[in-house]
Amino acid sequence: MTTTALPHVRDTKSEGRAHVIEPSATGLRITADRLRVWGIRSALSVVDQGLTAAVGFAVNIALARWLSADAYGAFAVAFATFLFISGFHNVLLLEPLTVMGPSRHSNRLPTYFREQIVIHAILGAVLAAVVLLAAGVFWWVSPRNLMLVGALVGSGLALPFVTFLWLIRRMCYVLQRPSIALLGSGFYVVVVLSGLFLFQFFHYVGPLTAFGLMSAGSLLSAWVLWHKLGLKEAQGPENARETTWREVARENWNYGRWLVGSTALNSVSTQAQMFLVASTLGLGAAGVLRAMQIPALVMTHILSATGLMILPAFSYDFGNGSIARLRHKATLVGLWLIGGTLAFAAALALVAQRTEHLLYGGKYGEHAWLMPVLALVPAALGASIGYSMALRAIHRPHFDLVANAVAAPLGVISAIGLMHWWGLGGAAASIVLSYIAYAVVTCWIYRSTAQGT
């Protein structure tokens, strides 16, 4: 348990009481400087995350407006495939890098980063091959659906390059240089969006070209960041512990292997509906579902960022033994977030048609009612995010695997049943039910765990 330094006290007998001497101006100035630095870094991190998310939303909105429903549906299915496969890159490389890098390799980070790049090259090639193999199988089964085959090929080819940018940006955070990560994100925004509008001007925009732009923007931005960080020339100290990329890969696996199952189940519970809609209702319906998800996805991204911001505070309370304060904060966060997200869903219900026209020019007007239905997803997530961050703070991350193990089969089964009766609305309801199940299990595990903490 940590202790907080108290102000110095001197006894003044002549006055019969103790006087408190305020901390020195130098100490206050150092504290203020530290707070200012961390405040600036936090702000830069938020802006950086916002820029990268904005590119994804902008690409989806632009393609939904410009392409036919079937063409955008092909992109939506390929993008869902990309997100599913890239989740394994996250747990087997990005998260171990973030945790193990500062704690075990702080005296040799430049060399450690280069070893992780070797691992990325191998892992990225394997994951890309899986997507390309899936595209080949689909082409063999349905050779006339070249639109989806091309989109899958684009997502497979883009995967190593896009995840490479993710890797270099994560290195910036390990080095506590979010300003450099922000530079890369800004460069990525300019390349992708300017290229997208240029391709649209010449009528070349499509799922394959969109993934090509994301690949080019990622590769160029990663190159800028790599040279800005100076890692190409940097060397570790002579007394640094020698290791190899194979040892680092083994370390990554030992850390991330327990998250692989959770990642797979989470992808099933959140992405299965997209594949089921595409296979039963057609690519156009999949495009509609993805387009109607965009407002909810924006709010979901905000909630995820909020969770990352409150996690350090929860961890600090746990480290200090302030369990009651941690529980109070978790409950308070849940109440605030569920209130805000329900208000968002209600507001969206009132302006759904106007929002659809603003985003898509009336192209999907008859399906605008799906927006407030899907907005219940962040409401469910908001109800549980305080508890999920608290469980992470008290070192109970296994809850995520259990919650996803319940949500995933429920999502698939409910999607099959509800889509039979309600079509696209049933798919939307299935997504909501999946998140509600995840939230309920998370809250139940928290309540059970909190009693023994």
**Distance between CA 79 and CA 159 in Å, rounded?**
10
pTM for this one?
0.81
What's the confidence (pLDDT) of residue 39? 58
Q: Break the chain into its structural domains and give their ranges.
A: 37-243, 260-453
Q: How far is residue 394 CA from its own chain's centroid? A: 22
Q: Distance (Å, rounded) from C-alpha 2 to C-alpha 52?
A: 37
> Helix, strand, coil proportions of the chain in percent (round to 5)?
85, 0, 15
Cα 280 versus chain centre, distance: 29
| Segment-wise mean pLDDT, segments of 10 residues, the chain, 453 residues | 36 40 48 57 70 87 94 95 93 85 80 93 96 93 87 96 93 84 89 93 92 95 89 55 80 84 86 92 94 93 78 78 89 92 96 95 95 96 91 81 93 94 95 96 89 58
Contact indicator for 312, 289 with CB cutoff of 8 Å: no
Q: How far is CA 52 from CA 57, 183, 291, in A?
A: 9, 11, 19
Which residue, chain included where needed, has tokens 């690409």? Answer: 59
Nearest partner of 448 among 399, 395, 393, judged by Cα: 399
How wide is the angle at C-alpha 238 spanned by C-alphas 243 and 179, nearest 5°? 80
| Helices H / strands E in the chain, number of each | 15, 2
Q: How far is Cα 267 from Cα 261, in angstroms, rounded to an integer? A: 10
Kind and range of the H or E run holding 11: strand 9-12
pLDDT at position 305: 74
Q: Is 106 exposed, middle or buried (0-12, 13-18, 19+ CB in 10 A)?
A: exposed
